[in-house]
Amino acid sequence: MRVSLGELLATGKVILADGATGTNYFANGLVSGEPPEFWLDSHPERVADLHQRFVDAGADIILTNTFGCNRHRLKLHNAQARTHELAKKAAEIARKVVDSCVRPVVVAGSVGPTGELFEPLGALTFDEAVDTFKEQIRGLKDGGADVAWIETMSAVEEVQAAAQAAIAVGLPYTVTCSFDTAGRTMMGLKPDGMAALFADFSVKPIAIGANCGVGASDILVTALEMSQSADAAHLPMISKGNCGIPRFVGTEIEYSGTPELMAHYAELATDAGARIVGGCCGTSPEHLASMRRAIDEHVGGARPTLEVIVAEIGPLTNKPPSDTDNSRRRSRRG
């Protein structure tokens, strides 16, 4: 049964998004420097298998293998002319998995950043960015994606260009940014300023939030900062955090988060106001299954404080913005 993300949210339940794509591919044989999108040709069965494993773990949303499927990133591998083709194929593979499910699952078309800088820092213009994203999102829509999942964004211009592209193509959209630089995105956007980016848009996002970043503790702090502005704009919030902190073990990168930690992260994210919770880098189907159980069994709790997050999930990697710190201190005194 096909379902929209809006319909899932209308149930009032907390929705579980899937986990990592790249790190799970690396565990299954992806070579460093190889575009994950090329597996759509060489290993479509592995792409479908990861989708299926996330669905079996309880995911309500699965993301297509198209994070870097835009002309600028594909140009690095002389595949810029294949944007629409690869995006369509990725959505078709995910659609086939979902259509065989006995419960409703949403196919979200992953749309990552171009990797280019906007004028005047770089050569990318806003119109070129919109056209770039339209090409990708049109392929996702043609392949059967239910929603454009714009993710890991940093620049305001790129957020708005991708959103405008989704609106032009006629596909509902969500947006998440990576707040990985002292509580802001790399280009300076703060969590509590995100909802305002869409104030004048003819079509608002279905949900906004954060993904990736630098760890589960940090993204929970981001969720706390974003929740009030998202609520004010009547936008459901997404929290899709990394599985703990990355660390080198020999020559390999491993993530510190256990299934138990990610389960507790999911509970705290829900208490912080997130309506959609998932995992990003390092999150395996095993982690996601633990998060599914935690969400289903969670009865709700108090909005977590910074002290609770640090005590129960671990220390922050980045210091929150100072004005947020001052706000917390005032609320504790009050």
Tens digits of per-residue pLDDT, 17-44? 999 999 999 999 999 899 999 999 999 9
* Arithmetic mean of pLDDT, 101-129: 97
Token representation of residue 188: 């300076």
For residue 106, list its beta bridge partners. 61
The C-alpha atoms of residue 274 and residue 243 are separated, in whole angstroms, by: 17
Write the CATH number for 292.
3.20.20.330
pLDDT of residue 305: 96
Query: Is residue 257 scored above 60 in pLDDT?
Result: yes
pLDDT at residue 249, as a whole number: 77
Strand partners, 4: none
State pLDDT tens for residues 280-314. 999 999 999 999 999 999 998 899 999 999 999 99
| pLDDT of 258 higher than 60 | yes
Pairing between β-strand 61-63 and β-strand 173-177 as defined by DSSP bridges: unpaired
Lookup result for tokens 């969400």 = 295
- Residue 321 pLDDT: 56
User: Residue 64 in contact with residue 96, Cβ under 8 Å?
Assistant: no
pLDDT at 254: 83
Measured in whole angstroms, how far is the alpha carbon of residue 77 from the centre of its chain? 24
Query: Are 86 and 73 spatial neighbours (Cβ–Cβ below 8 Å)?
Result: no
Q: Which range has the worst mean pLDDT, 57-66, 220-229, 293-302, 323-332? A: 323-332
Q: In what order do the strands lie in the sheet with 15-16?
A: 15-16, 274-279, 237-241, 207-212, 173-177, 147-153, 106-111, 61-63
Name the domain count of the chain.
1
pLDDT tens per residue, range 206-218: 999 999 999 999 9
User: Over the chain, what is the mean pLDDT?
Assistant: 93
Flag whether pLDDT at 50 surpasses 60. yes
- Determine contact, residues 18/54, Cβ cutoff 8 Å: yes
Average pLDDT over residues 47-74: 98
Give the domain extent around 41: 5-333
Q: Strand 106-111 relative to strand 61-63: parallel, antiparallel, unpaired? A: parallel
Residue 250: which pLDDT band, with cuts at 50, 70 and 90?
confident
Q: At what angle do helices 216-232 and 259-271 cross, to 10 degrees?
A: 20
Instruction: Say what the pLDDT of residue 300 is.
Output: 87
Q: What is the pLDDT of residue 253?
A: 77
